[in-house]
């Protein structure tokens, strides 16, 4: 198994190097002068000339790349010209926001998606089956920015039971200082305040539900089909004949064997979440990483864009790596095959 993990890890290295190359080259690929992309479009010629010298923009590309990468390794992503702040500081605020949103979405998607899929597989051609299939189809066809607008209009506008956008009602909690950047964790463990926690959760609810739509649909569909397959197997009939409890047959015997495709669906959807987060964050004015990338593109701000792309793509690669590795934990047969 360790050989398997080591091989996977090694295969990820060239990917990560490639991603860092692409992120680096973005500086030169953006429309216009790289010096302007670092200093801002209003920089004077004189400033830019001085800056090129100082920032090493006259050096050969490979030396520039090494300089940038060694900076990134030390946590130095450069400065944003739009905000005049180090990118690292901004990432420390943005990344937790996106992780919180993605984890919330994944929870919704997995819980609802897997349950709906199991219900549908247990009673094929029932109303649940129809709901599951219809939902799976509409979910993948949904423009989530539109759905986001509609639910916000309904729950925050008309019914007024949930708040509009943002991560927190900042006006109501003036003394709030983020500690970890994960507002849910801050509210529970640092402030230990129930009202604050509820406020944070109520802000998180709609965005994560909307972001969950597409993964939820796909997870429901895959769970349904793999469970249908698993429930037809002989060992299920044996378990039932032995008199095992119906719930245990479904959850232990069938679900466990249907796990690999479901896990794959869940983790590959994580990559979708990182992409889809751009749209959801825009609709809900959620100050996350996806929004950060778009804002950087709007003002041609190279350093934040490089950092954002680098982070999102490497997370995606690492998630896929974890999926691969997790297989050998879930399915002992794969472990043996690797060993032999």
Partner 1 sequence: MKEFTIFFATGARDFWRFVLTHRPAQGGLAIIGLMMLAAVFANVLAPYGAMEAFRDQLHSPASSDHWLGTDSQGRDLYSRLIFGARYTLSIALAATLLSLVAGSVVGALAGYFGRWVDLVLMRLVDFMMSFPSFLLAVVTVAVLGKSLENLIWAVGIAGAPSFARQVRAEVLRLRSLEFVEAAHSLGYSHGRILARHIIPNCLTPIIVLGTLGMGGSILSVAGLAFLGLGGDVFVPEWGLMLKLGWDQSSKGAFQVGVSGACILVTVLGFNLFGDGLRDWLDPRSRSR
Binding residues vs partner 1 (CB under 8 A): 15, 18-19, 26, 29-31, 137-138, 140-143, 145-147, 149-150, 153, 157, 225, 228, 271-272, 274-276, 278-279, 282, 293-294, 297-298, 305, 309, 312-313, 316-317, 320
Q: DSSP assignment of 270-332, as one string? A: HHHHHHHHHHHHHHTT--SHHHHHHHHHHTT-HHHHHHHHHHHHHHHHHHHHHHHHHHHHH-H
Nearest C-alpha neighbor of 266 from the set 330, 310, 311: 330
State the residue for tokens 């920089």: 43
Min dist. Cβ of residue 226 to partner 1 (A): 9
Min dist. Cβ of residue 234 to partner 1 (A): 18
Residue with smaller CB distance to partner 1, 183 or 304: 304
Min dist. Cβ of residue 42 to partner 1 (A): 19
State the residue for tokens 């190279």: 302
**Dihedral angle computed from the Cα positions of residues 304, 308, 311 and 315, in that order, rounded to the nearest 10 degrees:** 170
Min dist. Cβ of residue 10 to partner 1 (A): 14
Residue with smaller CB distance to partner 1, 207 or 276: 276
- Residue 107 burial (CB count, 10 A): 12
State the residue for tokens 């500690």: 179
Q: 187 near 197, Cβ under 8 Å?
A: yes
Residue with smaller CB distance to partner 1, 165 or 181: 165
Which ranges in the chain belong to alpha helices (H)?
Answer: 2-29, 34-39, 45-55, 61-73, 87-122, 127-141, 144-151, 183-185, 194-231, 234-242, 246-248, 255-257, 259-283, 289-298, 302-330, 332-339
Min dist. Cβ of residue 137 to partner 1 (A): 6
Min dist. Cβ of residue 53 to partner 1 (A): 26
Min dist. Cβ of residue 61 to partner 1 (A): 16
Q: Which residues contact 171 (CB under 8 A, 6 or more apart)?
A: none
Residue with smaller CB distance to partner 1, 37 or 187: 37
Residue with smaller CB distance to partner 1, 201 or 228: 228
* Phi/psi of residue 79, nearest 5 degrees: -110, 150
State the burial class of residue 29 (Cβ atoms within 10 Å of its Cβ: 0-12, 13-18, 19+): exposed
Residue with smaller CB distance to partner 1, 26 or 43: 26
- Residue 323 burial (CB count, 10 A): 18
Residue with smaller CB distance to partner 1, 59 or 294: 294
Min dist. Cβ of residue 251 to partner 1 (A): 22
Residue with smaller CB distance to partner 1, 87 or 196: 87
């Amino acid at each position: 198994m360790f050989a398997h993990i080591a091989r996977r890890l090694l295969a990820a290295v060239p990917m990560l190097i490639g991603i860092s190359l692409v992120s680096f080259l973005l500086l030169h690929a953006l429309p216009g002068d790289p010096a302007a992309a670092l200093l801002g479009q209003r920089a004077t010629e004189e400033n830019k000339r001085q800056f090129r010298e100082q920032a090493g923009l006259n050096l050969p590309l490979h030396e520039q790349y090494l300089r940038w990468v060694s900076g990134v390794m030390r946590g130095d992503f450069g400065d944003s010209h739009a905000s005049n702040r180090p990118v690292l500081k901004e990432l420390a605020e943005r990344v937790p926001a996106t992780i919180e949103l993605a984890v919330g979405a994944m929870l919704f998607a997995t819980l609802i998606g897997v349950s709906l899929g199991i219900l549908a597989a247990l009673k094929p051609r029932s109303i649940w089956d129809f709901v599951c299939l219809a939902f799976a189809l509409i979910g993948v066809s949904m423009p989530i920015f539109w759905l986001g607008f509609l639910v916000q209009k309904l729950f925050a506008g008309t019914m007024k039971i949930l708040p509009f956008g943002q991560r927190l009602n900042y006006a109501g909690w003036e003394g709030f200082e983020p500690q970890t950047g994960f507002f849910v964790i801050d509210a529970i463990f640092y402030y230990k305040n129930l009202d604050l926690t509820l406020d944070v959760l109520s802000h998180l609810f709609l965005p994560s539900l909307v972001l969950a739509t597409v993964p939820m649909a796909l997870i429901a569909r895959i769970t349904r089909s793999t469970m249908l397959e698993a429930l037809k197997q002989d060992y299920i009939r044996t378990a039932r004949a032995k008199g095992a409890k119906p719930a245990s047959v479904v959850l232990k015997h069938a679900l466990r064997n249907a796990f690999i495709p479901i896990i794959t669906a869940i983790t590959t959807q994580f990559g979708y979440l990182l992409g889809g987060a751009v749209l959801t964050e825009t609709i809900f004015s959620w100050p996350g990483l996806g929004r950060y990338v778009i804002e950087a593109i709007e003002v041609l701000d190279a350093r934040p864009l490089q950092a954002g792309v680098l982070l999102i793509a490497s997370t995606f690669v690492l998630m896929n790596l974890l999926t691969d590795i997790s297989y050998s934990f879930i399915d002992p047969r794969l472990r043996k095959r690797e060993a032999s």
